[in-house]
Chains A and B, each alone.
Chain A
Amino acid sequence: MASTETKSDAAVKENDGLGGLEAGLDALESSVAGRSSFGTTFRQKILPPLVAFVVVLAAWQALITFKIVDDPTKLPSPSAVWGEVENAWLQGTLLDYIWTSVSRGLLGFLFALVIGTPLGLVVARVKFVRAAIGPILSGLQSLPSVAWVPPAVIWLGLNNSMMYAVILLGAVPSIANGLVSGVDQVPPLFLRAGRTMGATGLRGTWHIVMPAALPGYLAGLKQGWAFSWRSLMAAEIIASSPDLGVGLGQLLENGRNASSMPMVFLAIFLILFVGIAIDLLIFSPVERRVLRSRGLLVKG
């Protein structure tokens, strides 16, 4: 460099000007995103599903009232189903039904998480393993998990282990596949940046690959939960035994055996309700938080 003298006054002044200039640019170019008010949230997010619910209920009641379907053994009235809810509640069995299935489902899902995560990571990162079992893993996703119930009963008998085995076979491929596609979508730029910072091998996996793959992984978990729940219901409907306690699947099967349409409807609604509730209470908030913190949640 030609001039190596200490900073002149002029240079100092110029730097002060530069700082101010920069502060101005920063202020001009940064956008401030506020969160929407409760009123907007209510109108855009809560009201539409509420309206849809009321419309379906009204249509259902209309079918009964105008005697379009005039056979309570085929279509029970909403009030009959509600009576069944009250009945189960008063007998104290309603929460038992739900808890029996939910506890099984969540525990099975946790097992699936513990197995599916390292499996997905190995498939995503090790070429040989990917070529060997990658296609089978994605193929397994399209195999209805109800197909696993007969072999699981033969191998393990009519017990809780059989239920967990069916859940695992249904959910592990989804979780592993979600992680694989999450890892595949990590921008190569992040990996290069990580490598220049010294994040290679396991440190790279922990600090760069896993957090970068999180959105895909979460989508896999969400699907994994849906598969867990479905597999469990299939298992409970097919393999009922007095030792197993009455879960929602058994409730449905009991309703069919007793030719009680309100009980069948009750079971179906509870199964649907639990599936939606777990998604709304656990997965959606986590997913939204992750996406929002990364600026990936587009408002509109």
Chain B
Amino acid sequence: MATTLAKAADGADTTEYAARIEHVSKSFAGPAGPQLVLDDITLDVAPGEFVTLLGASGCGKSTLLNLVAGLDKPSAGSITTNGRPALMFQEHALFPWLTAGKNIELALRLRGVPKAERRERTEGLLELVRLKGAYGKRVHELSGGMRQRVALARALAQDSQILLMDEPFAALDAITRDVLHDELTRIWRETGLSVLFVTHNVREAVRLAQRVVLLSSRPGRIAREWTVDIPQPRRIEDAPVAELSIEITEELRGEIRRHGQH
């Protein structure tokens, strides 16, 4: 893919994966002894690839994302990423004591970008998420969609190889979410980032991804994978998106049903 090659030409990226998850298990201490949340997950995300992790509640998808982000350690197995991943949450997690622009600048500052360059880069990132002129805006002055776009710009400011997204659009209204899907697809294609996107929304998963990975619940295991060949830009209403969504939903419901029978 052209965008990926651009990144590889920098010479920094010589690995064939942006994130490699090998035989990862995770258990937490529960009331009845240790509880297995993730069981033997193996998954590679290629450079420039867009992968969605799909699953019902309790499949440990957010746990897996935390492990990849390095916020927690796996009980078994290993996770390798090419540099520190950037992470976006369902809540925007912007710091309310800083303006939109300063939030982005903080990310640049923390990774050592010299002061003289920060302002210009921040303006560039704001332009990328189409928020030119929002530099001095306070977080509470922005709408939900704008906040998530600033959060996206801040994540991009980390200049990571891989962007981890934990249901970032789940709290938005349908119209805004739809627009942000288009936006994310555009930015992903422009930047050549790898994206690992967690959601429980099947259509969203199909709308965005090149590859959809279905996790079973309690413990989370990889149940099935689909490659999505529908050309971008897609729309969530497109017939092929709907068709594949129905197939995946059936499978997901099957997984959920298994928990009702003992």
Q: Which residues of A contact B (CB under 8 A)?
A: 1-4, 6, 11, 14-15, 18-19, 21-23, 25-26, 28-31, 33, 189-190, 192-193, 195-199, 203, 207-208, 211-212, 214, 290, 293-296
Contacts and interface: CB of A to CB of B under 8 A. Distances in A.
25 contacts: A2-B231, A11-B233, A18-B182, A19-B130, A22-B145, A25-B176, A25-B179, A28-B143, A29-B145, A29-B146, A30-B142, A30-B143, A33-B141, A190-B95, A192-B93, A195-B70, A196-B84, A196-B86, A196-B87, A196-B158, A197-B107, A294-B97, A294-B138, A294-B139, A295-B140
Interface in B191-245: 210, 229-233
A199 B87 CA distance: 13
B110 interface: yes
Given A26-B143, A293-B138, A212 B71 contact: no
B93 A189 contact: yes
Given A29-B143, A198-B110, A14 B85 contact: no
B32 interface: no
Q: Do most interface residues of chain A lie in helix, strand or loop, or is the interface mixed?
A: helix
A174 B179 CA distance: 49
A196 B111 CA distance: 11
A199 B84 CA distance: 12
Interface in B129-159: 130-131, 138-146, 154, 158
Nearest to A1: B210
Nearest to B229: A2
Give me the 8 closest cross-chain CB pairs, A-B, nearest first. A295-B140, A29-B143, A3-B231, A193-B93, A294-B96, A196-B87, A211-B97, A198-B110
Contacts of A1: 1, 50, 210, 231-232
B250 to A, nearest CB: 23
